[in-house]
Amino acid sequence: MRQSKLFAKTRKEAPKDEVARNAELLIRAGFINKEMAGVYSYLPLGLRVLKNIENIIRAEMNSVGGVEMLMSAFHPKENWVKTGRWESMDDLYKVADSSGREVALGATHEEIITPLARFFISSYKDLPTAPYQFQTKFRMELRSKSGILRGREFIMKDMYSFHRDQDDLNKFYEQTKEAYVRIFKAVGLGDVTYVTFASGGTFSKYSHEFQTLTSAGEDIIYVDKKKKLAVNKEVYNDEVLKDLGLKKEDLVEEKAIEVGNIFNLGTRFSEAFDLTYKNEKGEGNPVVMGCYGIGLGRLLGTVVEALADEKGIVWPENIAPFKIHLIPLGEKGGTVEKEALALYEKLSSAGIETLFDDRDARAGEKFADADLIGIPYRVVVSDKTHGTGKIEVKKRTEAIATLLSYDELLARLLDSHA
Amino acid sequence: MRQSKLFAKTRKEAPKDEVARNAELLIRAGFINKEMAGVYSYLPLGLRVLKNIENIIRAEMNSVGGVEMLMSAFHPKENWVKTGRWESMDDLYKVADSSGREVALGATHEEIITPLARFFISSYKDLPTAPYQFQTKFRMELRSKSGILRGREFIMKDMYSFHRDQDDLNKFYEQTKEAYVRIFKAVGLGDVTYVTFASGGTFSKYSHEFQTLTSAGEDIIYVDKKKKLAVNKEVYNDEVLKDLGLKKEDLVEEKAIEVGNIFNLGTRFSEAFDLTYKNEKGEGNPVVMGCYGIGLGRLLGTVVEALADEKGIVWPENIAPFKIHLIPLGEKGGTVEKEALALYEKLSSAGIETLFDDRDARAGEKFADADLIGIPYRVVVSDKTHGTGKIEVKKRTEAIATLLSYDELLARLLDSHA
C-alpha cells in the first residue's frame, strides 16, 4: 500500500490528556485516534494489526472445536436481573429508550449465551459445544488512564463452553489453556507471558490468567521464571504456594497486564436460566460452563508496551501491519523513485505486504516515521544503491543495515518464518 | 462442517412476537436469534452469510480506492451538539455514565470522521480520500416490526469521501454508484434492485438509493423496468419526471426495501468542524464530502424476503453459508454413512464448503431442514446410490434431482461460477 493513501498520518504529538505510553505511541504513529476518555477508533494501520491478532485467535479457537457467532450489544434487562448482575455489576451501562424502557449494553455475554443455549441443548448428545465471538463490549471504567489497555468500549474474543460434567469441562479447559499459550506466543509475547493462578470463585480453587510482564501493568503477580508459572497477588499466601508446589524464594514480584483469562463458571449461569440436559438414563442435570476471554485492543496495546523502544513501536512479524516498509530516497519522479516503485510492485506481486513511502519528505523524517511505525523490515532504495542490484535492508530490532539483492531479501523473509 | 457441531439447530417455530418473514425464516433455520425487539444475534450459519456479504462489499470498496478503518460506538456529545443533531436526530441513543456525563451511541459517523479528518487533511495533496468501516450502529427505532430489515442495532458499511471540489466528488460518486450496482448483483439481487432517485438535501438535486423490489418493502417507488431506474415517492412529481426524462406511463408503483444509499454531503459537516484544505495557490477551502451506506443485516434479510419460497430460504451461491448440503440416508455408523463421510472429506479437501448432516434423523426431517436452510446444492447418499458410483444432486431452486458422479458434480459447481 502507498503511504499517501493510508488516510491517516503520523502526528507530532498525542493529545495532552493521553498519559498511557501505548496510546501515545499508537496515536503518534497513526494507528488509533482517541475520541474521548477510554474510547478509541482504529485507523487503517491499527485495524490491520487488530485483524492479524483476530485471525491468530480464530484459528486457535477453531482448533479446540469452537464455533464462531456474533451476539448483540443490547441485552434485555430481565436477563441481567435474573443473574443478579443488573444491580451488582458496577460497570454495566444502562440505556433507556424514549419510552423509558431500560436495556444493558453488554459488558460480557453469559446473560445472552446461556438462555440462547436452551434452544439448542437438551441432551448429552448436544454436549460439549463452545460458541465464541469477536464483539464490542462496553464497561463503565471510572479511571481510563491506561490507553487501550482498559477501554470503556473494546473488542473482545469471548468463548463459552458447555459440558455434561466437571471432568469434561476440565479436559476442554486444559486444551483451551494450551491454545492460549500458543496465541500469546504467536503474537510475540511468549517470553514475557505467564499462566497465573488467580481466584477461582465458587466452582474451582483457581481461575487462570495470562499475565504479560510490563511496567505499565496494573496487576501485581509473583513469578517463578523457571517453572513459567505465576500467582496473582489476590491469592498469594503460604497455603496457595504449598498447594501449587511453589517456593517463596523462587518467586519475583512483577507488574503485569492480564491479557487473557479462563474461568470455570460451574452451574452459576445454567442454574439461573434453567439450562439442563438429559443424560443417557433420561435424568436431567444442569449444564456445566466455562468462559474464556481475550481483549484484542488490550493485547495490541500490551505488545506496544512490552516491545517498544525509545524510537517507537516494534511489531512482531506475525501481527505487523506490513512486512516491509519500503523507502525511496530521491526526487519525486526521479530514477530512484522509479526503481523503488518497480520493487514495490515486485514485492506486492510476490504477496509480500509492503508499505511504500511515496511521500515527498526528507530522509530523516522518513526514517524517524519508519522507526515510530515499527514495521519489521525497512528497505531503502537510494542513489547509493541505484544500479548496484542491491538494496539496503534493516530490521527494526537491529542497528545495522545490510546490502542485499532481491533474492537475498526474500530468503531472509522466509528464514524468519522458519 | 458437521451439522451436529453448529451449536445452533433448526427450530419448530419462531417467537410469537416475530411478525417479519425474514426473521421468522432465519430464526427457524438457525441463522439468527431474537434477543428483544429490533435486536438479533447471528448464529454460526448467519455469521457465515454476513461475512460473505462483507467480503463482497470490502472488495468493491477497495476497488474504488476506499481504505478500511474502525470507528468507535461511543461518540462525544459535543460533536453532535456542534452539528445540531444532538437535538434534531430523534433516534439517537444517549447514554450517561455514573457521573451523569452523556455520550451518544453512534447512529452514523459524520460526527467522528469529520473532526478526525482534520488531523490528516490540510492540502489538496491529501485529497481525495475515502475511509470506510464495517461497524455496529444504534438507532432508537420506535417500530421494530421488520425483523432484521430495521434493527435497533445493526452492522453497517459506511464510507465517507473527501474531495477538493464538487467535480471530484461527482467522479467518485459515479464510480461508487457503479460499485454498488456490482455489489447487489453479486449478492444475487441484481434483477430486482433499482438505482432510485430520492431527495438530495442542500447540496444536490437528488441522492441515490438502491431499492430492491419485495412486498416486505416499506418504501414506495416508481420503476421504469426498461431503463432500470426508479423514483422514490418522496420526489415523485411531474417536474422530476421531466428532469429525469422518464414518462409516467412507463412507470410501475412497487414496494421496495432500501438496501443502500449514496449521498452528497457537500460542506455541511466540513463547515461544522472547520475541515478545510489549501489549494495550489495556498487558498483555504472547505472540503466537499460524500457518504455511502449499506446495512449488512438489512441486505441479508432482503435476500431472504426476495428469494425465499414456501419451503424456506434460497441462498444465492456467492453468499450461501455452504455450497453443498450433504445428506446421508442410512443407519448411524452404517455403510451409507461411511460412504457419505468419505465424500464429505473429499469435498472438504477440494475446498468445497460442505455442511454434513450427521444427525440421527429421518429422511423427511433432513430434507425439510435442507429446504428451510437453503444451501444451493443438496447431495444425497443412500441405499439407492450406494455402490453405483453416483450421488443424487438437487439444486435448491429446482424440483428434480439428478444422479451424478463426483467429477460431474465438480464440473457442475464450476459451471455455475462461469
Strands A193-199 and A93-96: unpaired
- Mind listing the pLDDT tens digit for each residue in B219-240? 999 999 999 999 999 999 999 9
Helix A21-28 to helix A296-307 angle, to the nearest 10 degrees?
90
- Please report which confidence band the pLDDT of residue A144 belongs to, taking 50, 70 and 90 as the band edges: confident
- Mind listing the pLDDT tens digit for each residue in A36-59? 999 999 999 999 999 999 999 999
Shortest alpha-carbon distance between residue B133 and chain A (Å): 10
**A43 chain-B contacts, CB cut-off 8 A:** 69
Residue with cell 423490489: B213
Which chain B residue has the Cα nearest residue A68?
B44
Cβ within 8 Å, pair B6-A138:
no
Residue with cell 457518504: B291
- Mind listing the pLDDT tens digit for each residue in A168-224? 999 999 999 999 999 999 999 999 999 999 998 788 899 999 999 999 999 999 999
**CATH top class, domain A324-415:** alpha beta
**A39 chain-B contacts, CB cut-off 8 A:** 72, 74
B125: three-class secondary structure by DSSP: helix
pLDDT of residue B375: 98
Which chain B residue has the Cα nearest residue A131?
B7
Q: Which of B39, B116, B130 is nearest residue A41 as measured by Cβ atoms?
A: B116
pLDDT of residue A372: 98
**A8 chain-B contacts, CB cut-off 8 A:** 69, 119-120
**B136 chain-A contacts, CB cut-off 8 A:** 73, 136
Question: A196-215: string of b/e by CB count within 10 Å (b at 16+)?
Answer: bbbeeeebbebbbbbbbbbe
∠ at Cα B256 (B254, B259), nearest 5°?
155
Q: Is the pLDDT of residue A387 over 90?
A: no
Stated as kind and residue range, the H or E segment containing B378 is strand B377-382
Q: Is the pLDDT of residue A159 over 60?
A: yes
What is the architecture, at CATH level 2, of domain B3-307?
A: 2-Layer Sandwich (3.30)
Instruction: Report the alpha-carbon distance of residue A387 to residue A367 in Å, rounded.
Output: 22
Question: Phi, psi (5° rounding) for residue B416?
Answer: -65, -15
Cβ within 8 Å, pair A95-B112:
no
pLDDT along chain B (418 residues), means of 10: 96 91 98 96 98 98 98 98 96 90 97 98 97 97 87 97 98 98 98 96 90 95 96 95 95 97 97 98 98 98 97 97 96 90 96 96 96 98 91 96 95 78
Question: B101-123: string of b/e by CB count within 10 Å (b at 16+)?
Answer: eebbbbbbbbbbbbbbbeebbee
Q: Is the pLDDT of residue A98 over 80?
A: no
Shortest alpha-carbon distance between residue B348 and chain A (Å): 16
For chain A, what is the mean pLDDT? 95
What pTM does this model have?
0.97
Answer whether A417's CB lies under 8 Å from A352's CB: no
- Please report which confidence band the pLDDT of residue A333 belongs to, taking 50, 70 and 90 as the band edges: confident
Shortest alpha-carbon distance between residue A400 and chain B (Å): 32
Average pLDDT over residues A368-376: 98
| Domain residue limits, chain A | 3-307, 324-415
CB atoms within 10 A of CB A240: 17
pLDDT of residue A241: 95
Picking from B53, B62, B11, B54, the residue whose alpha carbon sits closest to that of residue B32 is: B11
Shortest alpha-carbon distance between residue A390 and chain B (Å): 32
Cβ within 8 Å, pair A35-B152:
no
Q: Which of A8, A40, A70 is nearest residue B41 as measured by Cβ atoms?
A: A70
Picking from A244, A219, A214, the residue whose alpha carbon sits closest to that of residue A229 is: A244
A323, three cell numbers: 512486512
Strands A324-329 and A354-356: parallel
Q: Is the pLDDT of residue A356 over 90?
A: yes
pLDDT of residue A416: 74
**A95 chain-B contacts, CB cut-off 8 A:** 93, 95, 105
For residue B309, what are the β-bridge partners? B312
**A6 chain-B contacts, CB cut-off 8 A:** 67
Cβ within 8 Å, pair B116-A72:
no
Shortest alpha-carbon distance between residue A68 and chain B (Å): 6
Q: Assess whether the region A3-307 and the region A324-415 belong to the same CATH fold.
A: no
Answer whether B142's CB lies under 8 Å from B90's CB: no
**What DSSP state is assigned to residue B188?**
T
A390, three cell numbers: 542491491
CB pairs under 8 A between A and B: 134
B17: three-class secondary structure by DSSP: coil
Amino acid at B415: D
| 3-class DSSP string for chain A | CEHHHCCCCCCCCCCCCCCCHHHHHHHHCCCEEEEECCEEEECHHHHHHHHHHHHHHHHHHHHCCCEECECCCEEEHHHHHHHCHHHHCCCCEEEECCCCCEEEECCCCHHHHHHHHCCCCCEHHHCCECEEEEEEEECCCCCCCCHHHCCCEEEEEEEEEEECCHHHHHHHHHHHHHHHHHHHHHCCCHHHEEEEEEECCCCCCEEEEEEEECCCCCEEEEEECCCCEEEEHHHCCHHHHHHHCCCHHHCEEEEEEEEEEEEEEECHHHHHCCCEEECCCCCEEECEEEEEEEEHHHHHHHHHHHHCECCECCCCCCCCCCCEEEEEECCCCCHHHHHHHHHHHHHHHCCCCEEECCCCCCHHHHHHHHHHHCCCEEEEEECCCCCCCCEEEEECCCCCCEEECHHHHHHHHHHCCC
Cβ within 8 Å, pair A129-B7:
yes
Picking from B309, B294, B281, B38, the residue whose alpha carbon sits closest to that of residue B148 is: B38
